[in-house]
Amino acid sequence: MIAGYPSEKLAESAGTGSTFSRHRRFLFTLVSFIITGTLFLRPCINYTTIDTSSNIVSTELCPKTAPLSPSFNTSIEHILKNATYKQESINRLSQAVQIPTEVQDTNPDPRDDPGFYSQFIKFHQFLDETFPLVKSHLQKDKVNEFGLLYTWKGTNESLKPVLLMAHQDVVPVNKESVDQWTFPPFSGHYDPETDLLWGRGSNDCKNLLIAEFEAIEKLLEDGFVPERTVLVSLGFDEESSGVWGASHLAPFIQEKYGDDSILIIIDEGGGIIQADKDLFIAPVVNAEKGYVDVTIDVNGRGGHSSIPPDHTTIGIAADLITLIESSAFPSDFQLDNPIYGTLTCIAEHSVSLPSSIKKVILNAGVDEKYRNELTKYVSNDKALRDLIRTTQAIDIIHGGVKANALPESTSFLINHRVDFHSSVRDTVLEDVKRAKQIAKKHGYGLLFEDKYIIEPTELGYIEVSYTKSLEPAPTSPSSGPVWDVLSGTIQDVFVNAFVTNKEHHEKELYVTTGVFSGNTDTRYYWSLTDHIYRFVGSLFDESSLKTVHSTNENIPMSSHLSAITFIYEFIVNVNESKELS
């Protein structure tokens, strides 16, 4: 059960008694997925009038997409249901996981220290040996030593290419927690009883990378010849912001093809999730929050600790940290926010959610009263509030070197994820405002962008600086021919992979859009296309998602097979569609 805003108040004002409180657990089933990095969802919102007889809006807000089945579908059934193919796929993904392509927060220039990246050399050899048709039919370019760009040249060069992405690197395994793993972190162990494949990178994101290669290898084996060029771009330091990988790959592609030259980009992101007994949602992440690291340095005077000032630089920093943590960024719940799409999709199609709660959610788009009530709830719920505001996390602090010496300086870092209705500049200026308040309070100066807002005093000064700034990503369209092909493919994969027998025939999938709280390598690719989507064609298992970047990372193999199917179908569909230019 999610703690947060007193839902009794929300229920009371909405005329629902304690219903909202009782059904909170069901309503926010998806929150655990949101916290792990995938924020859901915004369907195409169609504002309409309220049906006065039921007090619920009458126009469908989250419509069902028609499945788009490719005419070239030689191996779809084989990928999903052939036991031999599954075992071969297990072996491929397992071997990929066994190569520990770890990166740190800061990594050397690969041209200066290629030995640091020795595991990536092994991984490249593994790809060549495991996917011989890809090796022989696709052109491979190495970019900045270890970045890989594969080109499957199409027969019609006038058509914009499709770009598939993934990253080769994985986050490090904490050496102190290795004994907490059920199976060794780089074992690639497969457990047939649970259908889980274990290991670092199994779910972030060697699963997607291997699925892309498996799909292309199978298409080549089947004799498929693309009319539209397919590109596969693989960075090698996504987990440390893509400094050496994607930041070089994107310009390489841009120089070759030009701005707005790519039809669509697919990278890691959302997957298919179960929201109710027979209700599934596929969040295609089409936006990302921004990012900025703000560093605050408190510069004071040293001396002997036996003669201390009223506050050392550590004390001043502590006061500023207390102010920052007690004054969160304001909530900005607008109707185009993905969290509203999450709620409307569930409210519209769930058979378990009471009509009283549906009324609050579905009418929020057309009635200010309900919107305000829903806003209050989201703003005060700990699991949801960060979806509608800029976040702040004080992650690093340094100060002092000796017990009997006053610290001459203390610094700390604030990591912000910028709300997509805000900006890096607004975020940084809010920190400057807070620093100014503390500087005045304690008689310190304030320096920002090489200018003194407050002149330094005999006590010292506070300096505010920032790095790694990234504005919120442009929002990719959720309508039009490109979206239709993507969403139709997802719907068809769901039918093929998960609605397989009479028992499951009533299951329904709704394709929507979403936003990332974090950032993928797509941050460097914005100039190449307006259509950037972050999606893995897997059924997301809640327990597996909780292990991403943690101990016991794993993925259900059934979900991996559906991801292969998604890439296979998508490549064919973007080639067969007559609506795409």
260: left (phi over 0), alpha (psi -120 to 50) or beta: left
The single residue of 204, 212, 238, 386 carrying the catalytic annotation is 238
Smallest CA-to-CA distance from 106 within 228, 241, 227, 219 is with 241
Active site residue 325: no
- List phi, psi (to 5°) of 259: -65, 150
256 CB neighbour count, 10 Å cutoff? 13
Give Dmax over CA atoms of the chain in angstroms: 82
Give residue 478's identity as a one-letter amino acid code.
S
The rounded distance, in Å, linking the Cα atoms of 46 and 51 is 14
Give residue 361's identity as a one-letter amino acid code.
I
- Bridge-based pairing of strands 264-274 and 162-167 is parallel
Residue with tokens 């990332």: 516
Residue with tokens 């900005």: 332
Active site residue 238: yes
Half-sphere exposure of 496 (CA within 13 A, CB side): 29
What 8-state DSSP symbol labels residue 551? T
Residue with tokens 């052109």: 139
CB 198 within 8 A of CB 300: no
Residue with tokens 């060069």: 157
Angle at 380 between CA 378 and CA 382, to 5 degrees: 90
Give kind and range of the element (H or E) at residue 428.
helix 424-442
**Per-residue buried b or exposed e for 2-28, using 16+ beta carbons within 10 Å of the residue's own CB:** eebbebeebbeebebeebbbebbeebb
CB 358 within 8 A of CB 364: no
The rounded distance, in Å, linking the Cα atoms of 32 and 49 is 33
The single residue of 169, 267, 419, 521 carrying the catalytic annotation is 169
The residues assigned a catalytic role are: 169, 238
